[in-house]
Amino acid sequence: MLDIKFIRENADIVKAGALKKKIAVDIDRLIVIDDERKRIRQQIDAKKAEQNRRSNEIQRAIGEERAKLIEAMQHLKAGMTEGEEELKKVMTEWQSLMLTVPNVPDMSVPDGESDADNLEVTKWGTPTEFGFTPKDHVELMTALDIADFERGAKVAGFRGYFLKGDGVLLANAVWQLALKHFGAKGLVPMSVPSLVRRESFLGTGFLPQSEEDLYKTQDGEYLAGTAEVASMGYYMDETLDLEKLPILFLGFSPCFRREAGAHGKDVRGLIRVHEFFKWEQVVLCRAEHDESVRMHDWLNRNTEEFIELLNIPYHTVVNCGGDLGLGQVKKYDIELWVPAEKTYREISSASYFHDFQTRRLNIRYRDSEGNMRFAHSLNSTAIPTPRILVSIIENYQQADGTIKVPDALIPYVGKSVIGRAA
C-alpha cells in the first residue's frame, strides 16, 4: 500500500506507474474520497472538541441553564453519531480504492504487455544437445516408474500427480542441497504455515486481486501459494530492531494454487500443478532504495548459483511493466532450459516492494535518528519442487532412458544414475 500523502503529491507518477503495469485504478476518485474523508474527520474532531467544552460547562451550570446545556449536548451527540456513520461509509470505499493502487515500478523496468516482452539480462550455459531424440519428463518418469500421473489425476483430480521411489529421492535431494546452499548465505530456515489468515494475504498483496487463484477454507483461512505470505506475517504489527536488519528468512512450505487463469495451459506433467513444495527467500531491510536494489540482485544471484550447481542452462529476464504484480517495484525471472519444448521455463522470481507490503502489515523499525520507518521487503523463489525435476530429468536423460544424477545431488540421492544400479 502506498502512503496517501505520496499518492496525492505524486498523482501523475502513480497514474503512469499503473498504466505501465496495465492495472486499472481510479486515482482521481480516490483523491475525491480522501477529501471527503478528511472533511468528515475534521467535523467530527470539531464536534468532539465542542463536546468537551460543553461537558465542562454542564459541570459548572445549575438549574434551567444546566438542562438547556444537556439538551444541546444530546443534539451534538446525535450529530456526531450521524457523522461517524457517514465516515464509516466513506472509509469503506477509501480502503477499497487504496488496496487497488499499484506500487510505482522502477524506471529501469521495460515497457511491455506480458511475459512475452520481458528482456533477457543474463544467459548461462548452452541448450543441451543429444545424439538421440530426447523425450519429455512425463515419458521418462512414467517409464522409470518414478511418477504416476494417471493415478494422480484419479486421486487428486486435474493436475494431480504421485512421485515415487527415486522421484521422491530426487525431490528430497533438491531440498537438502537448497538448505545447504541458501543456509550458507545466512538465510535462517523456517518451516512456515500454509494455512494462513486473510490479513497476511492482504498485507502481501495477494488479496483482493488474486483471490480467484487461492484455495479458501470454510473457516475463512486461505492456502498459500508461497511461503512468502506466512514469512511476511511473522513480524506483522511489530517494531524491528535496527541492529538486526536485514532479516533473512528461508521459508519452506507446501504450496497450493488453483491456476484459475491457466485453463488449457501447461496441462501435461509437472510444469503447472495445484500442489507443490517450495523454498522461498524473504528479506526485511532498511527503508533505503539502494539497499533494496542490492538485496534484490543478491537474492536473484543466490538462485542463479544454485542452478549452476545443478549445471542446467538458464537465462534471467527482467520483467516488463505488464508482467509485474500490484506491489512489485521490479522483478527478475530465472528460466531453465526444457529440451523437449526447446524453450526456457520459469523456475524462480525475485521481487522487491519498498514499503508496499510492510505498510499494509505494519512492520516498522526505528532508524538511527529515532524516526519510525516502514521496513523494505523482498522475496525470491529459492527453488520449487516438483517443477525443477522437469529440467533435471530432461537435461540429464541418457539414450537408454536412464537419468544421470547431477553431481551436486549424488550425495543426497545415493546413486549416480536413476533407472539402474549406480
pLDDT, greater one: 267 or 394: 394
In a domain, 110, yes or no: no
Q: Are residues 373 and 247 in the same domain?
A: yes
- Which residues fall within 8 angstroms of residue 143, CB to CB, at 6 or more apart? 401
What pLDDT is recorded for position 48?
76
Give SS3 for 134: coil
List all residues 6 or more positions away from 405 whose beta carbon is below 8 Å from its beta carbon: 170, 173, 396, 413, 415, 416, 417, 418
Verify that 206 and 339 share a domain, yes or no: yes
Q: What is the mean pLDDT of residues 97-114?
A: 96
Q: Sign of torsion, CA 222 200 297 4?
A: positive
Active site residue 37: no
Average pLDDT, the chain: 93
DSSP per-residue letters across 150-201: HHHHHHH-TT--EE-THHHHHHHHHHHHHHHHHHTTTPEEEE--SEE-HHHH
Given a cut of 50, whether residue 422 has pLDDT beyond it is no
Residue 53: all three cell numbers together: 467544552
Q: How far apart (Å, rounded) are the C-alpha atoms in residues 344 and 125?
A: 12
CB 417 within 8 A of CB 362: no
Active-site annotation holder among 351, 387, 391, 394? 387
For residue 342, which of 403, 269, 394, 271 has the smallest C-alpha distance?
394
Residue 265 has what pLDDT?
A: 65
Please indicate, yes or no, whether residues 68 and 138 belong to a single structural domain of this protein: no
Q: What share of the chain is helix, strand, coil (3-state, %, to 5)?
A: 45, 20, 35
Q: pTM for the complete prediction? A: 0.91
Predicted confidence at residue 415, as pLDDT, reads 96
Grid cell 506491489 is found at 327
pLDDT of residue 84: 85
The amino acid at residue 362 is: N
Within a domain: 105 = no
Q: Which position among 8, 37, 198, 272 bears the catalytic label?
A: 272
Asked if pLDDT for residue 69 goes beyond 80, the answer is no
Q: What is the pLDDT of residue 70?
A: 66
Cell of 119: 528482456
Question: Is position 214 within any domain?
Answer: yes
Tell me if residue 286 is catalytic: no
Q: pLDDT band at residue 379, thresholds of 50, 70 and 90? A: very high
User: Are 149 and 69 part of one and the same domain?
Assistant: no
- CATH code for the domain of 87: 1.10.287.40
Q: Does some domain include residue 291?
A: yes
Give 41's Cβ-side CA count (13 Å radius).
8
Of these residues, 159, 257, 345, 360, which one is catalytic?
257
- Cα 179 to Cα 412: distance, rounded to the nearest angstrom: 12
In this prediction, residue 314 has a pLDDT band, given cuts at 50, 70 and 90, of very high
Taking CA 176 as the corner, what is the angle to CA 228 and CA 408, rounded to the nearest 5 degrees?
120
Q: What's the rounded Cα separation, in Å, for the pair 298 and 264?
A: 35
Active-site residue flag, 387? yes
Average pLDDT over residues 158-177: 96
Q: Is 272 a catalytic residue?
A: yes
* The one catalytic residue among 200, 292, 349, 380: 349
Q: Residue 149 is part of which domain span?
A: 115-418
Note whether 94 and 222 are same-domain residues.
no
Are 187 and 284 members of one domain? yes
- Asked whether residue 240 falls in the same domain as residue 144, the answer is yes
Q: Is the pLDDT of residue 77 over 80?
A: no
Alpha-carbon torsion, ordered 222, 224, 227, 232, to 10 deg: -40
Q: Is the pLDDT of residue 323 over 70?
A: yes
Q: Which of 100, 125, 157 is the last residue of a domain?
A: 100
Residue 336 lies in a domain: yes
Please tell me the predicted confidence (pLDDT) of residue 46.
81
Q: Is 257 annotated in the active site? A: yes
Give a yes or no: residue 109 inside a domain: no
Tell me how crowded residue 193 is: count the other CB atoms within 10 A of its CB.
19
For the cut 60, the answer to whether the pLDDT of residue 45 exceeds it is yes
Domain count, the chain: 2
In this prediction, residue 421 carries a pLDDT of: 52
Q: Give the chain's end-to-end CA distance (angstroms, integer).
A: 54
Please report whether residue 106 resides in a domain: no
pLDDT score recorded for residue 345: 95
> What's the pLDDT at 76?
67
Of 125-129, 254-258, 418-422, the one with minimum mean pLDDT is: 418-422
Do 268 and 396 belong together in one domain?
Answer: yes
pLDDT single digits (tens) 270-307: 998 999 999 999 999 999 999 999 999 999 999 999 99
